[in-house]
Structure 1
Amino acid sequence: MTEHLPTVVCGIDDSVGGRAALEEAIRRAGRRGARIRAVLVYEPPEMSGAWGWGPTGAVPLPRLEVYQQSERRVARKIVEPVLEAVRPELPTMPPVEIDAVPGWPVEALVEAAEGAQELVVGHRGRGAVSSVLMGSTSLGCVLHAPCPVTVVPARDRPPTTESVIVVGVDGSPGAEEALRWALAEAGRRGAALRAVVAVRPPESYSFEDVVQPDPAEGRRLATAEVRRRIEELREQTGSTAEAEAIAITGSSVPTLVEAAVDAELLVVGHRGRGPWRSALLGSVALGVVLHAPCPVTVVPPPVPTPATAHAAEESATALPIGPIA
């Protein structure tokens, strides 16, 4: 019974970004043995104000079931060509449920993602149909969805020559969960994992008797700490993915975007400010979603309990030299 399979929800429309998102969602579901729920969100006639007006007086609203059937036909026309395009890549196609639901895109997709393994949406696409999967929708889903959200850019780029996943880390609970998720995803794909720490340049002091911070030492300490966390998560999860840790001096968004130039996926945490004083949260998640050359998965932090909050405090490690940005 397919309803018992884990679910990858994908918001669809007939834009380039919407189709790219559906292709990505199908590949992910195929790797995980999951099913796809492709959801077209449409604006019902009573919301658009297009009905009830006209030169000859009020125009009656169509029956809801008739309108919904029409939108489901539109959804099938979007999904079926994408399924045929992706089919040669996958040994087994995942089960696909095609649905059309009325409402506002963010609210409808967040509701559809309840209990899902992941939500996938396109970025910067408005199609001819009444879905609105553009910037505001993808970012709204990132902010409010209860599961990891992957935002797929519409722009084309050459295929990557090697399978690499980049994850941004900063010592916060959100980044810790992102690292855990990225290790698992790298294992499923047979990809290498690149954990990147963006180290803010140290403050410059004008007093001669003050010891100047050493940027190289800050990078060394950050790299060592991330390597330690990777090994701990390997033991916890059983992941065998190849992983490396890299510390780069610079601001978070440009550092992560540059690190993902050759990557097939960039992963960041959401709503976490760690003891390394990084900002891999709203502003950084927003920045990489807008500018990354590859799909971006934003992983929410786990729901805290007293036990997990205490454990997070115990395991968090502040860097003695230079904040991580």
Structure 2
Amino acid sequence: MEGHVVAGYDGSPEAVTAVRWAAGSAKRLGVPLNVVHVWGLAGHLDAPPLSAASAYVRAGAQEVADEGAEVARLAEPGLEVVAVLDDGPPARALVRRAEGAVLIVLGRHGSARLSGVLLGSVALGTVQHAPCPVVVVPRTQVDPAATDLVVVGVDGSAHSLGAVDAAGRYATGAGARLRVVACWQEPTRGRSLAGWLRENPGVPLADLARTRAEGAVDAAAARLRERCPEVQVERVVEEGPAPHVLARHAEKADLLVVGTRGRGGFAGLVLGSVSQWLVARASCPVLVSRAAPD
């Protein structure tokens, strides 16, 4: 696989966990890892008489970057790791470093150590603008036993098919199996259902919702057969609120994949809001894919 993995690091316990997870994923995908520390003082301390202070702070920031790289090397001996120091707005710097990357990996939260970076807010900005999928790792993800399972949530929308593509690429590179999950709930009657009710007279709303979810899973599975034929795919259609259903499946997964936007309506899955809920609460790392399918 071409490319590299980028991991944001600020010295916090959350960042340590994220770098370890990123190192493991880079090793499984067969790509190098860039550990990036962003410091926020560039351009402010360069004028005399503060240039000496700037050099001192920059040296300290480089130590943080080097520390993060060492965390990765200890986690995955033999992995190619590069320590990178960057400056400017943290999310913008990380997005810039993500050009050509397979993944960018961040901790769910960060700290104010040296750079003033709070990865809670940086993660949100990075998810919105990164050119590649963004993985947000919870602090609880400390040296877990690999399950070789990737879970992806789908609802039939273009963005959820983009998530399917991202999940398929990761599962292929990592040698993992893939579980495609669609959730459904009986929709509330309203103007948006009028067309469906006219086309399907006498059909219970619950049946329509379940059929829509089944169609989303079938479309995702067909796409995976075409694009990732070597990946073992499991289909799941389950009734219930999407965040809770996906979070339950994520408990036994190495990675949960969602898109940034979804359909709503019959499927009951709006991945914009669902992805935010899962990024904040899922027990495993969550990959958010922004890419629309080609």
Distance 1:97 1:31 in 2: 17
Aligned counterpart, 1:234: 225
Tell me the alpha carbon deviations over residues 166-199 of structure 1, each in whole angstroms, 9 at most, x when there is no partner. Answer: 1010111111011122122223333221111121
Aligned counterpart, 1:311: none
Aligned counterpart, 1:294: 284
Aligned counterpart, 2:34: 37
Alignment of 1:73-222 (within 5 A): 73-87=63-77, 93-126=78-111, 128-156=113-141, 159=144, 162-203=147-188, 211=202, 213=204, 215=206, 218-220=209-211, 222=213
Distance 1:161 1:153 in 2: 15
TM-score (normalizing by structure 1):
0.76
Rate the CA distance shift 1:278–1:217 in 2: closer, same or farther, 3 A.
Answer: closer
C-alpha displacement of 1:280: 3.9
Rate the CA distance shift 1:269–1:33 in 2: closer, same or farther, 3 A.
Answer: same
Aligned counterpart, 2:19: 22
Max radius of gyration: which structure?
A: 1
Tell me the alpha carbon deviations over residues 27-71 of structure 1, each in whole angstroms, 9 at most, x when there is no partner. Answer: 222222212111101121665x9x99xxxxx96343755543332
Q: Structure 2 unaligned runs (5+)?
A: 191-200
2:244 matches 1:254: yes
Distance 2:179 2:111 in 1: 33
Aligned counterpart, 1:283: 273
Q: Which amino acid aligns with 2:14?
A: G
Rate the CA distance shift 1:82–1:163 in 2: closer, same or farther, 3 A.
Answer: same
Q: Which amino acid aligns with 2:245?
A: T
Indicate the percent of aligned positions where both proteins have the same amino acid. Answer: 33
Rate the CA distance shift 1:130–1:143 in 2: closer, same or farther, 3 A.
Answer: same
C-alpha displacement of 1:107: 1.4
Match of 1:264 among 232, 240, 254: 254
Q: Which amino acid aligns with 1:253?
A: P
Q: Which amino acid aligns with 2:111?
A: R
- Worse-superposed segment, 163-172 or 217-226: 217-226
Rate the CA distance shift 1:69–1:116 in 2: closer, same or farther, 3 A.
Answer: same
Rate the CA distance shift 1:75–1:238 in 2: closer, same or farther, 3 A.
Answer: closer
Secondary structure, aligned partner of 1:115: coil
Root mean square deviation of aligned Cα: 3.0
Rate the CA distance shift 1:176–1:134 in 2: closer, same or farther, 3 A.
Answer: same
User: 1:220 touches 1:247 (CA, 8 Å); kept in 2?
Assistant: no
Secondary structure, aligned partner of 2:33: strand
Tell me the alpha carbon deviations over residues 80-133 of structure 1, each in whole angstroms, 9 at most, x when there is no partner. Answer: 14411332xxxxx33211111122211111121122222111112215332514
Q: Structure 1 unaligned runs (5+)?
A: 53-57, 88-92, 309-325
Distance 1:193 1:45 in 2: 43
Distance 1:161 1:180 in 2: 22
Distance 1:85 1:38 in 2: 13
Distance 1:131 1:257 in 2: 31
- Worse-superposed segment, 256-265 or 184-193: 184-193
Secondary structure, aligned partner of 2:100: coil
Distance 2:42 2:52 in 1: 8
C-alpha displacement of 1:23: 1.1
Aligned counterpart, 2:193: none
Q: Which amino acid aligns with 1:197?
A: A
Distance 1:68 1:118 in 2: 27
TM-score (normalizing by structure 2):
0.84
C-alpha displacement of 1:20: 1.1
User: 2:99 touches 2:131 (CA, 8 Å); kept in 1?
Assistant: yes
Rate the CA distance shift 1:71–1:229 in 2: closer, same or farther, 3 A.
Answer: closer
User: 1:117 touches 1:148 (CA, 8 Å); kept in 2?
Assistant: yes
User: 2:103 touches 2:132 (CA, 8 Å); kept in 1?
Assistant: yes
Distance 2:256 2:142 in 1: 15
